[in-house]
Amino acid sequence: MAQSERKESDMIFPREVLIGNGYISRAYELCSRLKLGNRALIICGTVTRDIAGKNVADMLSDKGYSCELMIEGRATQESAERVGEVAKDFDFIMGIGGGSKIDLAKMGAHIADIPFISIPTTASHDGIASPRASIKKNGSSLSVEASAPIAIIADTGIVAKAPYRLLASGCADLIAKRSSVKDWELANRLKDEPFSSFAAALAMLACNTILENADAIKEGLEESAWIVLKSLVLSGVSMSIAGSSRPASGAEHLFAHALDTIAPGKALHGEECGVGTIIALYLHGEDWKIIREALKKIKAPVTAKELGVKDEDIIEALVKAHTMRSDRYTILGEGISRGAAEKAAKITGVIA
């Protein structure tokens, strides 16, 4: 169905996206081409320092850059502010890691108003290329405005060696675009919310690439890392075009955020979104079974048990989901009743 669109938009894209085997070795070449200055702040964790951080710092130092490795843990408001303060003495930031290090780097870049290069070492979610950061505050995750990366380097050799569960979670976060785009269309029709067919098409392309390749995504296969990274970048760019996380985050994400507060630390973000997508599509009256099948092929969770949470947690998360973000209209509308939530979770096989 055609959606109404405003005839204006601000789009910020990454200037270079390098994805390939051994591509971490191209960090210096990229930095010198982008001419960002020679003071680099590198955000990583203890593990990603050994995987790639130290390597990148040495490579740049050898070429005359002044580099500082900043080892960080979780992405909290305090740590983001700390990174932002330190970043004021640098020309650009590189975030090297899975989720939190990239979130901190993009927040720090936003605070210090300097460019940010995203160097993902896993492919577990689409924050690697998006202008939004997920920050932990009082036990729950907040999506906050941050800087979009000026460039992305993703080394498929490194990403393929990360635990397979992370890659499967990244796939589930991409499959989630099936329901988030439906929610966006609904909000456009019902609430006259601005819609971009360009952003929606990119998000759907990212999702469909995973659905079409579900049989080929396997543990230890570098080809799988390539497919998922490419799609995560597409999804991130769709958010840059939309100027918000709208194309990539609907009811399934609200459900995931709610479940995170009810049963923290049990499942990965993408895993929760995958299960949320099954239920959200059922509520939309769409084909949820093909989503469930694709998630099963990829070996991502499709039930409460596989997520490591109780059936009751799923129902509670569904009932609570619409309160997670009042400005995000989805198929959950003003809220789903307890009875309807239980029925939806049972019919889709998420709970027993």
Give contact residues for Zn ion (rule: CB under 5 A).
Answer: 173
DSSP 51: I
C-beta of 256 vs 319, nearer to Zn ion = 256
Alpha helices, DSSP H only, in 35-143?
A: 46-48, 54-62, 77-87, 100-112
How does 51-82 read in b/e, with b if 16+ C-beta sit within 10 Å? bbbbbbbebbeeeebebebbebeebbeebbeb
Which position's Cβ is nearest Zn ion? 173
Are 54 and 68 a contacting pair, CB within 8 Å?
A: no
Tokens of 115: 């460019």
Residue 44: which H helix or E strand, with range?
Answer: strand 39-44
C-beta of 84 vs 122, nearer to Zn ion = 122
What's the rounded Cα separation, in Å, for the pair 248 and 104? Answer: 20
Residue 253 CB, shortest distance to Zn ion, in Å, is 6
C-beta of 60 vs 232, nearer to Zn ion = 232
Residue 115 CB, shortest distance to Zn ion, in Å, is 24
Residue 227 CB, shortest distance to Zn ion, in Å, is 17
* Bridging pattern class, strands 140-145 and 132-137: antiparallel
C-beta of 72 vs 173, nearer to Zn ion = 173
- Distance in Å from the first CA to the final CA of the chain: 35
Residue 277 CB, shortest distance to Zn ion, in Å, is 10
C-beta of 173 vs 193, nearer to Zn ion = 173
C-beta of 173 vs 271, nearer to Zn ion = 173
